[in-house]
Every structure is written in C-alpha cells, then in structure tokens.
Amino acid sequence: MPTIDQVRDVLATINDPELHRSIVELGMVKGIEVAAPQVTVDLALTIPGCPLKSFFQEVLPAKISASFPEITSVTVNLGAMTDEERKALVGGVRSQTPTSFATPESRTTVLAIGSGKGGVGKSTVTANLAAALAKRGHSVGLLDADIWGFSSSRMVGTSARPTVVDERLIIPVEAYGFKMISMGNLVEDDRPIVMRGPMLHKILQNFLTDVHWEEPDYLLIDMPPGTGDISLSLSQFVPGCSIVLITTPQQAAEKVAERAGHMAGKVGMKVAGVIENMAYAICEHCGERTHPFGTGGGHELADTFGAPLLGQIPLDPPMGELADHGKPSVIVSPESPSGRAFEEVTDAVIKVIPPRPKSRARKSLPIIMSPSAAPVRTG
C-alpha cells in the first residue's frame, strides 16, 4: 500500500495548467487519505468554480492509479482556497514588478510596435509577429497597450475572459500558441471607456505586473496611435526597451512615424527597425507589382534612425479581411504574399532583436507550503 508521502510525490508531478506550477507546491493539496484500494484527495481550487475542475477530476485519479496498481478507486474532493490561502499563493507566484522586465536578469525582450499614425497596421503586424514567433517555438506575450482602441483580441479571434485568481494575478488568454491580454478580453466590446492619462498609465502597469506572463522570450506591445501617454508610461516601466516602427510607403505616414520615432528616442526607447506595410499590391492575374501608396516611406524612415528595414508587407485585402476575423495570415495562409512577407519579417526580427539567452538562471521563486498544505489524514 502506498504511503501518504508517496501519493503526495505523485501529485507533486501534476502542474496547475494555468499557473504551470506543481499543485503541491501551490498548496492546493489539502489532504490525502490512503486505505487501499481507495485513495481520497482533498484539493482546494484557486478560485471557486474554477474552469479546470474536470481536468483535476480526470488527471489526479489517472496518475495515482497508474502509479500504484493496488489503488483502484480514487476520489477527489474539490473545495476552494480561502482568501488567506489565495493571498499566499499570489504572493508566491507573482514574480513581476512593473519594472522587472527592465532588469538585467530579465529573460524577456520587450518590443513595442508603434507608428504614431493610426490604421497603418500596427495591430495586424503585432498579431502576425506574435503568431509567427510562437510557431518557431518562442514563448510570446502580446500586451495590447491600445487601452481605448483595443483590437488585438479581435485580431486573434478571442474575446475569452482571463482567469482572475486575484486582482493581482491574472492568467492571460491564449491564442495561436501565445499569451495575450487586451481590454477586449476584459470589457464588453462596444462599451466606450472614458479614461484620463493616469488611468492609462495604471492599466499598463497592471498589464505588465499582474498578468502571469511567466517571462516569455518576447513581450510584444501593440501601441496605440499617437506619440503620447502610453509611450511615456512604457518607457518609465521598461526603460530602454526597443520599438519597431510601422509605416506605409506614403510620405504623410512616414513623417508621422518619424515623429513617433523621435518621441521614442526622447523617452529612452531604441528604434530597432522599421516595417513597411501595404508596401505594394500584387495583381492576382498577372502577378505584377504596383505601388498604390507610392514608394520609399520604409527606407526613408529606416535611414532616418539608422535602423534596418525589417521587411515590406504587401497590401493584401483577403489578409485584411481574415485579420479582422481573428485569423492571422501566418497561421491561415502562410503561403499567401502577406503570409510569406510576415515570415520574412519574423526572421529579420529574430536576427536583429534576438531573444535573451535561456540559460540565464531563472529568479528563484518562493515555494508555497502553507501548514494546511500538509496531509492531514491518514488511512
């Protein structure tokens, strides 16, 4: 007959699917009773009505019976953590401060995608870049810093609500292999949000601090149009972070992106590269390239900042249509002109702004073992 410790060792190998930590380490296992052929486990969910109930009901019995052939019946009693237990858990799991992405130990490359000008494709580029980086095996977070004009949730087709373990611990939603948070995941779609500058600052801070990003390789920030508040806030939280400027080939767009680049420089951000969107159109009959928005904006902007032109994305109306319905072209049509262009841009981004080395020692995080996490009953 297995001992309680042996059963606990098996449970310790099971991770909470959202927090990615052992359920024993998180203090979720409240009691283990062994009376062969029966094992009973008392498990406290992080929040009542946790959507992962059925996961635990399936996985715990399967793991225990697979480990101990003499155990043929496993009962999992589900309860919920007390407020105090949840606070202890949050304190242990939360590893970020607003500025922790800026420390030398950070494993995350923070990359803002901005342009100053509205409607040039910042959100489209951000969503495709996130999906393409994730496809290549990088861990990626997408933070929609367009608090008022959020669109990232629509671009990746999920208005799912994040799991809020506590207001200081929010599990981001997942799409196409990356994690994301957007106001679109938090509010009803068409409800206007009236906010003053300080509130935007606070929300950006919350998104950086309270969302359980888990040190992704890349954290992409979809910037709002304009050069104002959010750039300033971001530069305060993540001093020296990089920005990729998006422009179309037109002079008018290029000049606005230039102002955004200078503003970024003023607040200590570094222009890491330029992407020219809607750079050309391809005739679907003869394949000829035309330039409905002129030429030159991307090169000019890149020259201004001595930064590389990371790529040119064609005007691709079906791609725009797909993007607006939550389907990034690198996922649904990687062979389309825009899909291929995004793949090339992604290669260029990785080359110019490589992920930080993974071998760097992770910050050691406190292990939570509240007294009540110890087994309380014996069989």
Ligand X SMILES: Nc1ncnc2c1ncn2[C@@H]1O[C@H](COP(=O)(O)OP(=O)(O)OP(=O)(O)O)[C@@H](O)[C@H]1O
Q: Which residues bind ligand X (CB under 6 A)?
A: 118-124, 146, 149, 151, 225, 277-278, 313, 315-317, 319-320, 323-324, 338
User: Rg (Cα) of the chain, in Å, rounded?
Assistant: 24
State the nearest-atom distance from the C-beta of 244 to Mg ion, in Å. Answer: 14
Enumerate residues 6+ apart whose C-beta is below 8 A from 205. Answer: 98, 233, 237
Tell which residue, 79, 6, 80, has the closest CA to residue 39: 6
The partner in contact with residue 319, picked from Mg ion, ligand X, none with C-beta cut-offs of 5 to 8 angstroms by kind, is ligand X
Is residue 211 within 8 Å of 145, Cβ to Cβ? Answer: no
Shortest distance, position 256 Cβ to Mg ion, whole Å: 14
HSE (CB half, 13 Å, CA atoms) of 126? 37
Which of ligand X, Mg ion, none does residue 108 bind (CB under 5 to 8 Å by kind)? none
Read out DSSP for 99-126? TGGGSTT---EEEEEE-SSTTSSHHHHH
Nearer to ligand X, 214 or 343 (CB): 343
Nearer to Mg ion, 123 or 250 (CB): 123
Cα–Cα separations (whole angstroms), residue 268 to 41, 206, 233, 298: 53, 22, 11, 22
Cα four-point dihedral sign 222, 226, 232, 235: positive
Could you say whether residue 123 binds Mg ion (CB under 5 A)? Answer: yes
CB of 151 to Mg ion, least distance (A): 5
- Residue 120 binds: one of Mg ion, ligand X, none (C-beta under 5 to 8 A by kind): ligand X
Closest CB to ligand X among residues 237, 280? 280
Nearer to Mg ion, 104 or 192 (CB): 192
Give, for 276, the enclosing helix (H) or strand (E): strand 270-276
**CA distance linking residue 258 with residue 256, whole number of Å:** 5
Residue 327, contacted partner among Mg ion, ligand X, none, CB below 5-8 A by kind: none
Nearer to ligand X, 5 or 324 (CB): 324
Q: Which distant-in-sequence residues (6+ apart) come within 8 Å of 123 by Cβ? A: 144, 146, 151, 152, 155, 222
End-to-end CA distance of the chain: 10
Judge whether 48 and 42 are in contact, CB under 8 Å: no
C-alpha to C-alpha distance for 161 and 187, rounded to whole angstroms: 9
30 interacts with Mg ion by CB under 5 A: no
Stretch near Mg ion under the rule CB under 5 A, chosen from 20-28, 120-128, 131-139, 159-167: 120-128
37 or 320, CB closer to ligand X? 320
The least CB distance from residue 155 to Mg ion, in Å, is 8
Nearer to ligand X, 317 or 366 (CB): 317
Stretch near Mg ion under the rule CB under 5 A, chosen from 22-30, 143-151, 190-198, 364-372: 143-151
Q: Which does 204 bind (CB under 5 to 8 A by kind): ligand X, Mg ion, none?
A: none
244: β partners: 113, 273
Nearest-angstrom CA–CA distance, 90 and 232: 29
Residue nearest to ligand X (CB): 320
**Residue 68 or 150 having the CB closest to ligand X:** 150
CB under 5 to 8 A by kind: which of ligand X, Mg ion, none does 354 bind? none
Q: Of 296-355, which residues contact Mg ion (CB under 5 A)?
A: none
Q: CA torsion sign, 43 to 49 to 52 to 58?
A: positive
Output DSSP code: residue 22: B
Q: Residue 350 CB, nearest distance to ligand X (Å)?
A: 21
Q: How far is the CB of 31 from ligand X (least distance, A)?
A: 51
* Residue 154 contacts Mg ion per CB under 5 A: no
Count of residues in contact with Mg ion, rule CB under 5 A: 3
Does 122 help bind Mg ion (rule: CB under 5 A)? yes
Choose between 221 and 368: whose C-beta lies nearer to ligand X.
221
**Residues that bind Mg ion in the complex, under the rule CB under 5 A:** 122-123, 151
